Structure 1
């Protein structure tokens, strides 16, 4: 046995378990299983052309060697990205802790109360600092958050504005360049007309529905926007503000001057730069827009006993419910990063944040004075952390880089310098020395910072923030460590048991893949540094692009999209650009099967396409004749087909090549949703089935951890004809020759997280990747056979096999009064997170074990499911007081003096013997979602206050 083989550590079933599992599924070999599962005409004829797999030890040395190629300069570029100080207690106990980074999105609230509390803290922090009534639990980055603000305000236009087709949106010329580029991307397909200009000269009589301002501006100047907002509102124009989160500690909140939406990034609250991400963006607005706000909102509700509980509120999966009517396609957040940023607020508290913000501002004042004394002109009259110096940029850049310092150069005569939390007096002296050398003068040493502020009195913050107890209690490392641990114990993650979520692929996130994320040689690189300072990154990113291109059978890859849904949008925008380059501007019909993810139709509408739904057969496959009929009917305007493969029903459809050919014959392109790529890698690929573009969920197939609901990365891989249109960036050149405008703020999206997938592919190699896919299919079929006779599998392939996942039908149990939700909650008592519930078919469960789970864990899960099936047989519809309807059972219930249930405490808490050794206790009983939606509470004040207000 090669004990240094990463494949051995990643794939769950052992060699000795293989024959037993094959016996259970009635197959002589894995080769036979694959033959009976995957259509022969799409199987790859030769292995993937990838480098030989590295061992974990070899990879560790390799990635360390690459990190040394990055040059970590002191960087003052700003533009929404700043060096931040990550408290070690947060790094060790959250970022490096699988109890936090391997959790799933908190759809099962009873076993996610810790993460939900951390996110409620985050929302409270955002509401306090922005002065707004409502905030979500993070978006992908500041620029996409700004785009969401633009589209949300477009959706909530007044009736008269909609009737008169008012579609102009004003963008201040002080917007960050990457945000402006992304606004262009999102505006084009929705026919929103962007007007960029000076907010001080804006004509409020023009027909605009909205405007967006940068606070402070990209140059660093702090403007008083109160008069602008007042005049805008008088003209029925709603205003969004993109605000620097740390500056809001010192500046008037946008809420105080009546902004309608406030967006930004929380990166500078302790999150590594990571060459662009991942970072948690924030989005705050008025409560009036609670039904329109994109993303996830954490809300307070109560459980069955009336005790305080948390859950995701309102449009938990809005796009899966509203589909093409959804206002956003957002499916992922940046949960892990939002948790870290929220804990940064908890750790420092209001006084700590005031100290940090004040320090940054006085350092900027001190530097400004020192440079003025050297004879330089400082342009900004009011600023927080950024000064603009008139100087010869060519000379300054040359000397600065010799001193390993980066500034931003907006034009040939201006140097922009953005200071940050990590800046010291020694750093200021280095900066002064650079400017002194260019001026031919001796530098005067700064020995102490000036006692002054550059913020006018009328713009200073006077309102309190972070007054809640949680932000004033955990300022020692001991206390914060214990608070983090208290929350962690409330959450079920992969470090406790299998999370068998269909379509979500909760596989091992190996420690060897994660370790580089803590290395400052990777963490402290600004996304807009000169490319030659990020050579380590570029070697990784280029290799990863090549690896993904090879795996998908395509010709090019863009790593820019920050989530799967964003990858969908990117892929469709590339298809749109391709059609337009050929003069086919009219092609706007997107065919989408009825079984598709809800993000698919939402993304198509965002890309300016009209959705036409195609039928499914009784077997759950695409109805080929219905698809053919609709493709022919719309052939003159057909833009694309969106298809998931294997299907969302967990089946390799044998007609897939015929389906893609139909689309091509009628002038369309084929977009493949990469949600189920874990069942393709090494066996087949999107190129082999005839697709033209796919997105990949690196947080699924390629081992980036879900982090409680994010980070995600959703790169797109494309066929040859689409390569020229891959997305670009306005600051760092990337993308194709005819690149569409930006999809994400950073040139390569969440570069830091990409290290994980690079490690996963590099350590598995071609053979390991193929075996991972084979074992994912084996594990799924093993579960299918073990549950046979207890649960009906809804869809199977032509030879009776499942793909890497299957759907079990729970609808017949309604005769016993049991819903699929009852099974999901009861699984918590057995120590498991439920599989995907009621998607894509209501009343069902979609189970995906992945290749990482051992036979022993699969058996525990199957034993739990079979035990629950027996419990279902024992209950009747007229007796709701049963072990399923009362699930989950908490420790408080089990230790109470009274027990008013017709079954034993042991039956409730320990229905199988294995649970005794590793019991997980849900901390609340079943949550009441309806109560929480009727009484929307999204900040962390004591529940007594809410109850009093309701009364």
Structure 2
């Protein structure tokens, strides 16, 4: 059902974007533009680079790279078609170019619907959340003490979902509506362990497509039929039944009879897909007997963006909470008994559960969930109902007007969608004569209304219908008879936060109150290994808000999408060049979905070649944690491969290959590995797998250490995914959005979505999170070949500079050739714990007192910290981090030698809040200054105060509270 927009191949011509004299050696240097991003993107000045090179014992960046990357895996021509890549384009020229592309997209009046709707993003949210780096550059809130702002916002979002759906527990978002439907199907299958699942035929077609894809590779039989008429006499054979209201044709259903009577005693999961805005006036899924409900929060203030990113919602009855996919935000308490937010039930995190995972969700859509939650907060329950009633009245008015002209309207209760029967030529008439886009199903024309539509729009449609039908009626006399439905809802969203922030002044202050609680890249380096928290340049971010990119419906006619066609063609082409692969799909909307999609390509390849029994996936224990989860969801059985000193154990690999030779499907390799080293035996490993009939999936999360020097295609991999939110500067957004396209070689190209032997859809729309594609487009265009390559070298320089500066204080766990690391490295805290009792968590929390977010903690090796500085950080910032880590080591020494008490010391009590430090009852065995201002720069730069002290994780898990307090709770 997803529409391909491939018309012609477009080759970008960027020569006109730069002054041709820029590359003319005869032009004196002082005439050349300084408006290039490279020197601004890379944090260190040339003199600082020289100083760092001296520390790592190299004279040049090229010499450093030669010391780090083994010759066996080094590609001299790391770009497949270097001529495809533009030379670096000036910053202002690229912004202008992207505005031109956006203007090529035609924003006609839109009534397409099908899960995507026009919405008014309140400007206070647009400017102060979506466009504010304090919100979009923060990381997933694992370090909760410095993430209290976005955690509160996400808790608000969860509360909105549970209030509107009636469910007990909501997560803090999923990827999109179709994948959320697939998660419901898999939850049913894993809960009841039965291999049949029923889907009503009026569910959105993109959701049915994804469910079928996911079910096929898991061996689940999907039965699609009309739930209103289907005979469920064999209901006990099903693990679940999924229906929707309002459905694909706009009808609002009450599924109470089906769920509470027909299926009352059946052991199956009852699922309703729904629409949040409709739930402000219609009966809740819980009241209809559902166990699970899902949908999309896009119409709560998040632009359509040609398909995404948007936060899907997913809510369940209490008994299913421990198997629910995604993250749950909850309330615990800190060391002083103060309420504090955190991610609850973290043992559910899929990278922790590995092959036992119930989902492979890692990145969600936190930034967009926060926008949707703030939208609901800003409008409040009365405001939301007013919007819903207005949309409903517009739709019902249009239905009555169409009837008055003799047109046949589909009967049934509607919310926002009207179906006109037997109007097969109306769609083309409206598109070409009135610049209006509607949806066509068979001979019917479908109109979906949203909050952006007006009475004038209805009148314009009416006038066109009069011309089309050649009949007349009185507009005003019809619409004056339409009044809102009587609401079926009991009062909802009665909590204080939803009923006190309706003025822009109050909302602006609340947004900033939340933002100030969090550490983001606006405040300091975030050295998270494996997560690549690099600069998200402002000029890269600007085009995301351009109307031509943000307001386009993903199912718009091809003639309206010329700008996006050109943009996606070029991004795909450049990703092919960087990976040295044949073809790319931009559909996967997260890194984990990229893993999943790549594995599905491998599975489809084996099936099409008559080897459907190849179902073993070898995964070295040095691979990313979501790899095993993705493999299981692709219907593969995981066999782990040992690692010795950071390298894949070839003896164990050969053993596992021989044991599984006839059923070997693939191996999953993370390169460089999560241990931070380039393995020189990678080509040999790949050759071994190919010799035994398997294929090779390469996890591209660490592509920041490959670009310009090697590539998955050069190494021999068959498929890789690329985390555009890591290497290519799409921001992490406090836990999402992500984008994880896959690149494949020639043998797998036919199995990509939309290709000859498509594996099926893996997202709701063809390009999933399309509206953030201008960001990597800018990355490639503004940096060019040489700039992108230099970023890789600088990432390695920064990592090795940190490693060399800290190796005398902390044990470095793994290194590659010449004692060097790749773009990240691991320090081992286990010996420190054994000697002093200080743990990696103590160090992580103490870093907050120094103004830093902690490195990645206890992954991939328990008891360690994995550090990745990225190329965007300056030597000055790296030196501050080094100073902090060295001073922390001195504090640890004081614990060891008894200067600090083993239990009452700055590390065990970290982080320290302002409340604690100014409290007259201070009674610790160290000073307030040691606690809050351990080094001079902390005071000089301005203190970043954690707003809560160390949070009690166990208490939060034992006492799961994942909704906003009620009014009575506030009073207590």
In the superposition, the TM-score normalised over structure 2's length comes to 0.94
Pick the aligned partner of 2:396 from 337, 346, 365.
365
- Kindly state the Cα deviation for residue 153 of structure 1 after the two structures are TM-superposed: 1.5
Counterpart check, 1:260 vs 2:291: yes
Deviation (angstroms), 1:32: 1.2
| SS at 2:757 equivalent | coil
CA offsets per residue over residues 180-200 of structure 1, 9 Å max, x none?
A: 000001111221111100111
Structure 1 segments unaligned to the other structure (5+ residues)? 728-734
Check if 1:133 corresponds to 2:168.
yes
Displacement of 1:629 in angstroms is: 2.0
Shift of 1:704: 0.2
Contact 1:266 1:279 (8 Å CA) reproduced:
yes
576, 580, 595: which one aligns with 2:607 = 580
| 1:571 alignment counterpart | 598
Report deviation, 1:13. Answer: 1.1
Q: Which residue does 1:56 correspond to in 2?
A: 91
Alignment of structure 1 residues 506-525 onto 2, 5 Å: 506-525=533-552
Q: 1:12 aligns with which of 36, 43, 52?
A: 43
Determine the C-alpha separation between the residues in 1 that align with 2:967 and 2:805. Answer: 45
Q: Distance in 2 between matches of 1:36 and 1:579?
A: 39
**Local SS of the residue matching 1:799:** helix
Distance 1:446 1:452 in 2: 11
Alignment match, 2:365:
334
| Larger CA deviation: 269-278 vs 147-156 | 147-156
Q: Which residue of 1 aligns with 2:936?
A: 913
Q: How far off its partner does 1:448 sit?
A: 8.4
Range with greater deviation from structure 2 (911-920 or 486-495):
911-920
Q: Which of residues 673, 678, 685 is equivalent to 1:652? A: 678
Q: Residue 779 in 1 paired to residue 798 in 2?
A: yes
Q: Does 1:671 align with 2:671?
A: no
* Contact 2:334–2:949 under 8 Å retained in 1: yes
Q: Does 1:922 align with 2:946?
A: yes
Kept in 2: contact 1:250–1:461 (CA 8 A): yes
Question: What are the within-5 Å matches in structure 2 for residues 809-888 of structure 1?
Answer: 809-814=828-833, 815-876=835-896, 879-888=902-911
1:600-630 per-position Cα deviation (integer Å, ceiling 9, x unaligned): 011101001010100101x111011211221
Aligned counterparts, 1:59-74, within 5 A: 59-74=94-109
Matched, 1:901 2:920: no
Q: State the alpha-carbon separation in 2 of the partners of residues 700 and 566 from structure 1.
A: 15
**Given the superposition, is the C-alpha separation of residues 399 and 418 from structure 1 closer, same or farther in structure 2, using an over 3 Å criterion?**
closer
Q: Which moved more, 1:894-903 or 1:648-657?
A: 894-903
CA distance in 1, matches of 2:268, 2:934: 60
**Do the aligned partners of 1:247 and 1:384 also contact (CA within 8 Å) in 2?**
yes
2:478, 2:869 → 1: CA distance? 60
- Which aligned pairs between 1:326-405 and structure 2 lie closer than 5 A? 326-405=357-436
| Corresponding position of 1:107 | 142
Distance 1:404 1:762 in 2: 33
Query: Which of 224, 248, 259 is matched with 2:254 structurally?
Result: 224
- Residue equivalent to 1:730: none
- Kindly provide the CA deviation profile for residues 201-255 of structure 1, in whole angstroms up to 9, marking residues without a partner as x: 2222212121000111100111221000112231222211000111001110001
CA distance in 2, matches of 1:945, 1:120: 16
Q: Which residue of 1 aligns with 2:470?
A: 440
For residue 636 of structure 1, the aligned residue among 647, 659, 662 is 662
Answer with 394-403 or 245-254: which moved more.
394-403
1:87 corresponds in structure 2 to 122
Match for 1:144 among 151, 165, 179? 179
Corresponding residue number in structure 2 for 1:793: 812
Q: Aligned equivalents of 1:146 and 1:386: distance in 2?
A: 21
1:205·1:235 contact (CA, 8 Å) conserved in 2? Answer: no
Alignment of 1:621 onto 2:641:
no
Is the CA contact 1:75–1:526 (under 8 Å) kept in the aligned structure 2?
yes
1:601 and 2:601 matched: no
From the superposition, tell whether residues 945 and 246 of structure 1 become closer, same or farther in structure 2 (CA, over 3 Å): same
The answer for unaligned runs of 5 or more in structure 2 is 1-28
Contact 1:380 1:387 in 2 (8 A): no
- Quickly say closer, same or farther: Cα 1:296–1:450, change in 2 above 3 A: farther
Query: What's the offset of the Cα at 1:43?
Result: 1.8
Q: Give, in whole Å, the separation in 2 of the partners of 1:598 and 1:153.
A: 24
Say if 2:469 is the partner of 1:421.
no
What's the counterpart of residue 932 of structure 1?
A: 956
Q: What does residue 732 of structure 1 align with?
A: none
Using a 3 Å threshold, how does the CA distance of structure 1 residues 297 and 696 change in structure 2: closer, same or farther? same
Moved more, 180-189 or 820-829: 180-189
| In structure 2, distance between residues paired with 1:686 and 1:789 | 35
Using the alignment, how far apart are the partners of 1:925 and 1:380 within structure 2? 58
Q: Does 1:176 align with 2:204?
A: yes
**Residue of 555, 560, 565 corresponding to 2:582:** 555
Given that 1:432 and 1:443 are in contact with CA atoms closer than 8 Å, whether structure 2 keeps it comes out as: no
Conservation of the 8 A alpha-carbon contact between 2:78 and 2:578: no
Structure 2 residue aligned with 1:696: 722
CA–CA distance in structure 1, aligned partners of residues 893 and 72 of structure 2: 44
Is 1:275 aligned with 2:310? no
Matched, 1:528 2:555: yes
**In 1, distance between residues paired with 2:676 and 2:216?**
36
Choose the corresponding residue for 2:528, options 495, 501, 505.
501
Distance in structure 2 (CA, Å) of the matches to 1:446 and 1:673: 61
Contact 1:232 1:238 in 2 (8 A): no
SS state at 1:688 partner? helix
Q: Please state how far the C-alpha of 1:447 moved relative to its aligned partner.
A: 8.2
State how far apart, in whole Å, the 1-side matches of 2:383 and 2:154 are: 20
8 Å contact from structure 2 (residues 322, 348) kept in 1: no
Partner secondary structure for residue 683 of structure 2: helix
Structure 1 residues 633 and 271, CA, compared in 2 at 3 Å: closer, same or farther?
A: same
Whole-angstrom distance in 2 between the partners of 1:785 and 1:943: 55
- Does the CA contact (< 8 Å) of 1:111 and 1:492 recur in 2? yes
Aligned to 1:406: 437
Q: 1:133 to 1:317 in 2, by over 3 A?
A: closer
Other structure's SS at 1:393 match: coil
Q: Post-superposition shift, 1:675?
A: 1.0
Asked if the contact 2:601/2:752 (under 8 Å) is kept, the reply is: yes
Which stretch shows the higher mean deviation, 274-283 or 892-901?
892-901
Q: Is the 8 A contact 2:572 2:586 kept in 1?
A: yes
Residues 365 and 450 in structure 1, CA contact (< 8 A), matched pair in contact too: no
Q: 1:367-423 deviations in whole A, cap 9, x for unaligned?
A: 111111111011132100001011332244223332110110011x21110000000
Instruction: Tell me if the contact between 2:161 and 2:315 (Cα under 8 Å) persists in the aligned partners.
Output: yes
1:117 aligns with 2:152: yes
Distance 1:451 1:899 in 2: 70
Match of 1:755 in 2: 774
Per-residue deviation at 1:684?
Answer: 0.5
**SS of equivalent to 1:4:** coil
Separation in 2, partners of 1:168, 1:201:
18
**Separation of aligned partners in 2, 1:677 and 1:943:** 49
CA drift of 1:682 comes to 0.7
How many residues get paired? Answer: 929
Asked if structure 1 preserves the Cα contact closer than 8 Å seen for 2:291 and 2:316, the reply is yes
